[in-house]
Amino acid sequence: MNATYFFCFAALVVASCDLAGPDYIETREVTVGPTLARCYGVGLQSCMVVDGGLFYDGIEDFDYEPGYDYRLRIGKYDPWEGNEPPQDAGRYAYRLIEQLEKTSAPSTPATLSLAPARVTCVRSDDFCLVVDGELYDDLITSFEYEAGDHYVLNANRYRDGRFVLSEVASRTRAAGAEEEITIDRHRVECDDGHPGYCKVVNGAPFRGEIVGFQPGHDYDYRVRVERFDMFPEGMTGAPHVPAYGYRWLETLERTAGG
């Protein structure tokens, strides 16, 4: 048996070994949290939480499973070998050298009610989920949200306040009466005591999304929509969360701005 091969084979009991592995710029130990977090790179994405902060890169050879705390030894290297990286690519990459610990993270069970439409966030120019009547400016790990439906989720809540989905307990289509609305091409301050810019629906700021509607820039619209309640009977939301939402059905008129 080749001596180099034998050394690497033996090393597998305590560390990963790559015969053609990169030259590491540095190696270090890190912790990885039990949930993923909403973050922004080129666009909206999900990030691991490494050493308590958002980690925008992946870790090669690391099989992440939500709900666990990890302690890892990782190596940092230059995948471009000194050349300029492609646009929007990271300068460095990371690879797992050794998984030192994997332990089940403490959590508490939670039942979450999700509204069928998202609402303009107050901390970013994006849409937030509405969870139990409040804006939730993060993601729920392992859950794929589709606007237009009421959800009840069984989840686990972790020490960072984020959730990991256990199961979708129920999912029902939001339904209501049809009506026509106008949508202005401009956005304005939401004027509800919280930061954010809102679309203008029927002449007034509206913080909610219109499910299925993809407007073009610099156009005013008249559209046919289905208006639905955002919350089950007996439940109310925060003052800056609309009590109703809209599902786009048909564009009746589109007028270019002057």
Please name the residue that has the structure tokens 């980690």. 55
CB atoms within 10 A of CB 90: 14
What's residue 217's pLDDT? 84
Q: What percent of the chain has pLDDT over 90?
A: 76
The answer, yes or no, to whether residue 91 has pLDDT greater than 60, is: yes
The answer, yes or no, to whether residue 20 has pLDDT greater than 70, is: no
What's residue 86's pLDDT? 79
pLDDT mean over 30-58: 93
Q: With cut-offs at 50, 70 and 90, classify the pLDDT of residue 42.
A: confident
What's residue 12's pLDDT? 39
DSSP 3-state assignment of 30?
A: strand
What's residue 157's pLDDT? 98
What's residue 90's pLDDT? 76
- Mean pLDDT across the chain: 90
What is the Cα Rg of the chain in Å? 24
Q: What is the tens place of the pLDDT at every residue in 182-204?
A: 999 999 999 888 888 999 999 99
What's residue 258's pLDDT? 60
The answer, yes or no, to whether residue 88 has pLDDT greater than 80, is: no
Residue 6 is inside which H or E element, if any? helix 3-11
Find out whether 21 and 95 touch, Cβ atoms under 8 Å. Answer: yes
CA 28 to chain centre: 28
Highest-pLDDT range among 17-26, 66-75, 233-242: 66-75
**Residues contacting 164, CB < 8 A, separation 6+:** 34, 35, 66, 67, 107, 140, 141, 142, 155, 156, 158
The answer, yes or no, to whether residue 2 has pLDDT greater than 70, is: no
Find out whether 119 and 190 touch, Cβ atoms under 8 Å. Answer: no
Q: What are phi and psi of 219, to 5 degrees?
A: -130, 145
Q: Which of 8-22, 101-115, 128-142, 211-225 has the lowest mean pLDDT?
A: 8-22
Q: With cut-offs at 50, 70 and 90, classify the pLDDT of residue 80.
A: confident
Q: What percent of the chain has pLDDT over 70?
A: 91
Q: Pick from 218, 208, 219: which is nearest to 248 by CA? A: 208
CB atoms within 10 A of CB 162: 22
In 78-203 the beta strands, taken as DSSP E runs, fall at 93-104, 107-114, 119-120, 127-131, 134-136, 140-141, 149-158, 163-173, 176-189, 197-201
What's residue 21's pLDDT? 60
Query: When comparing pLDDT for 18 and 156, which is higher?
Result: 156
